[in-house]
Each structure stands twice: as C-alpha cells, then as structure tokens.
Amino acid sequence: MTSIKYISKCDIKTIRNIKHQLLRSNNLIDFEKFRSYELNSYKNLLKKKNKKWFNNKDAFILTISSFYSDNGLNWLKAVKNTIIVALFFYSILFCIHYFQTNYILLNTENYKIFFNGFFRFFILTDFYSPFEIKKIYINTPLEWIIFILGKIFIGIGIYEIIKSFRKYKK
C-alpha cells in the first residue's frame, strides 16, 4: 500500500518511463496499473493548475473515471458505484413520480414497483416509464431530466466495468 502512495506522488515523467518499459516487456497487467497511476498524476496536476477543475474537460473525465473504477483497475468498484449511482437517480425519480401522482410511498405494492422499476432502469435503451407495466412514457420534464441523467451515468458505469476487464485481454 505504501508503494502505491509513493508512486502516485512521483513525477509524471518517471511513471511514463516505467509504463513504457512495461509495455516493451509485454507486461500488460502492470502496464495498466502504471497507466492508471499516470492518469491520476495528470488529474492532480490539472487540479493544481486550475482550481476550477470541473471547468476543465480532461480533469472532469479523469475524476469520473477515477470515481467509478480507479481508471480501469477495479471492476468491483465500478459495479458497486454504478449500482449506487443508479439507485440515487432512480430514488429521486421514484419520489418525484409518486409525489406528483399523490400515492403513498410506504406501501408494500410500491416496494414491488420500486424494485421492478429499478431493474428496468438499468436497461439503457428502454425509455419508457419504469413504474408502469405498460409501455407508457414519463410525463413531466423534471422526470425526463433525472431519467436521462441517470441513464447517462449508468452508461458510463457500464463502460467503466467493461474497461476494467481490458487488462485481462491477450
């Protein structure tokens, strides 16, 4: 663990040199680790240069990738964070939908609707309301905004899960 902290604080040129040597020796698993260290160092460098790092596209993308899967190193973290983010957006969507339709939230039937809809929410190409059995679209613009944002972040999470398995290819 101490070596990872030390490596992440190294000069970015040193990390790149080690990464290139690993690529020459065809050590792809360690190459991916050092690629991740390089991306983290670059992200920290961008954050130091610009205090408003969320305005910088590269730093923003690297932060999202680091949040989901440590830049493609940890598929289990990517799965966990994808489920957490999806649950966050879906819970907001569920509350907005049921406050607008004046239903009681603490009802056993609503728990069934919640969990069935949650699994439907993971289907990226399904743009129908996850609360209805019939294929009915969502009604309000606020629900659409939350719905689309949730689908985008689920898509990013699925991409990060797939990217995390890239280091095992031959």
Q: Angle at Cα 65 formed by Cα 43 and Cα 19, nearest 5°? A: 60
Note whether 73 and 33 are within 8 A (CB).
Answer: yes
Query: pLDDT tens, position by position, for the chain (170 residues)?
Result: 334 545 655 677 888 888 888 888 888 778 888 888 888 888 888 877 776 656 678 888 888 888 998 888 888 999 999 999 999 999 999 888 877 766 655 666 777 888 888 888 998 888 888 888 888 888 888 999 999 999 999 999 999 999 888 766 55
Distance CA 88, CA 27 (A): 38
What is the dihedral angle through the alpha carbons of 111, 113, 116, 120, rounded to the nearest 10 degrees? -130
pLDDT at 86: 95
Structure tokens at 39: 């991306």
- Looking at residue 138, what is its pLDDT? 85
Do the Cβ atoms of 151 and 123 come closer than 8 Å? no
**pLDDT value for 4:** 52
Start-end of H helices in 10-140: 12-24, 28-49, 57-69, 75-100, 108-121
What's the pTM value of the predicted model, to 2 decimals?
0.78
What local confidence, expressed as pLDDT, does residue 167 receive? Answer: 64
Residue 3, pLDDT score: 47
The domain limits of the chain are 1-66, 74-170
Per the CB < 8 A criterion, the answer to whether 160 and 82 are in contact is yes
Query: Rounded CA gap, 82 and 68, in Å?
Result: 7
Task: Please answer whether residues 71 and 163 qualify as being in contact, where contact means their C-beta atoms are separated by less than 8 angstroms.
Answer: no
